[in-house]
Structure 1
Amino acid sequence: MAGSLQDQLLKAGLTDAKKAKQMAKEKRKQTRVAKSSGIDIVDENKEAARQALAEKAQRDRELNAALNEKAQRKAINAQIKQLIETSKLEKGKGDIGYNFTDGKKVKKLYVSALEQKQLSGGVLAIAKQGDQYEIVPRPVADKIAERDAGRVIFSTEEAAADLTEEEKDWYKDYEVPDDLMW
């Protein structure tokens, strides 16, 4: 490059040395006045660059937070899958249909008589793995529920916890047969 803009303008003949000295003097004077009065001279380009860096840093932080959250969810899902795989009970050996609700859908698993009693008593619970349902012991179900409560279906107190006292007792005058299978 051929030096400053002032030098280039002088060489091109667009200004003379006297005007160039006068402009330099005025610029120094403005700088001196601004410094003495405490006013900072704001360079728009530097301010825009600083603003762009701040915005980029904010976007990077948000992206990193999203990636960390995604990695954490993936780790939790892996933990839940491992808990289910290591402690699930064998399916398909029972002949009693055990109905349960998953959200608003009624699902059915075939279980043995002992498993049915344990599910009804809260000793066992049902865990959802993808689109499959597995029967797991209650302590394992509690560990899964700590990580993701939507993946565990309890058949006992949690189902009744949403009801009011009046809704719980509406059937108290009716006798329920012992051999009723739901």
Structure 2
Amino acid sequence: MAGSLQDQLLGAGLASKKQANKAKADQRKKTKQSKTVKKGQVYQDQDEIKRQATIAKQKEEKLAKDKALNKEREEQRLQKEIDAAARQIIQQNVISMPANGEVEYNFVDNGKIKKLYVNNELQNQLANGNLAIALLDNRHVIIPAGAAEKIFERRPELIISRQEKEDIDPDDPYADFQIPDDLMW
């Protein structure tokens, strides 16, 4: 049984000479097309590689842009949460000021001297650092010092005035003669 499969099929009478010639012609066309495709394919492959590289670069740029945008949105969301938490702390800890306060308490807000009218007890607590002045909806309110510490950690610009307790130098000869912050002339 030497010979090609085609010869064997022709010998057995399963295929005709016409079918054999047609199969050979089809085979030649396929090999000829594959040779021409291989020559042109080199140029097409280079173009395809460039296009794929461009697409990959665009995807990387878009991914980097999306990451930056997501990071910015996350920071904005976090800032809103911090603002809401600080605002809530202030609202929960507001100390009501007397409607007709008899004592002026002066403080500095953005380089300008402002005043609140409070009673003697509030003035003493503000001067001692037990209370602080915070900004809520563009108005000044009084809050406890503990709440002011929490707010100062989150949003320091909301705390307008807060007295710090100074460390007294033990070698200071005038340590016993402190000048009060709320000295009235």
TM over 0.5: yes
**Higher RCO (CA < 8 A, seq sep 6+):** 2
Cα drift, residue 97 of structure 1? 1.5
The whole-number CA distance in structure 1 between the counterparts of 2:55 and 2:65 is 15
- 1:143 and 1:176, CA in 2 relative to 1: closer, same or farther beyond 3 A? closer
Q: Which has the larger radius of gyration?
A: 2
Given that 1:122 and 1:154 are in contact with CA atoms closer than 8 Å, whether structure 2 keeps it comes out as no
Contact 2:102 / 2:117 at 8 angstroms: preserved in 1? yes
| 2:87 is equivalent to residue 81 of structure 1 | yes
In structure 1, list runs of 5 or more residues that go unmatched: 1-16, 32-39, 161-174
Q: TM-score, normalised by structure 2?
A: 0.65
Q: 1:128 maps to which residue? A: 135
Aligned pair 1:52/2:61, yes or no? Answer: no
Cα contact 2:132–2:163 (8 A) shared by 1: no
**Equivalent residue number for residue 181 of structure 1:** 184
Corresponding residue SS for 2:72? helix
Structure 1 residue 70: Cα displacement: 1.0
Please tell me whether residue 70 in structure 1 is matched to residue 83 in structure 2: no
Which residue of structure 2 aligns with residue 115 of structure 1? 122
Identity value in percent:
33
Which amino acid in the other structure matches residue 37 of structure 2? A
> Deviating runs (4+, > 2 A) in structure 1?
17-28, 153-158, 175-182
Identify the residue that residue 9 of structure 2 maps to in structure 1.
none
1:24 maps to which residue?
37
Aligned to 1:170: none
SS in 1 for 2:104: strand
The offset of 1:124, in angstroms, is 0.3
Report the CA distance shift for 1:85/1:177 in structure 2 as closer, same or farther (over 3 A): closer
Structure 1 vs Structure 2 CA RMSD: 3.6
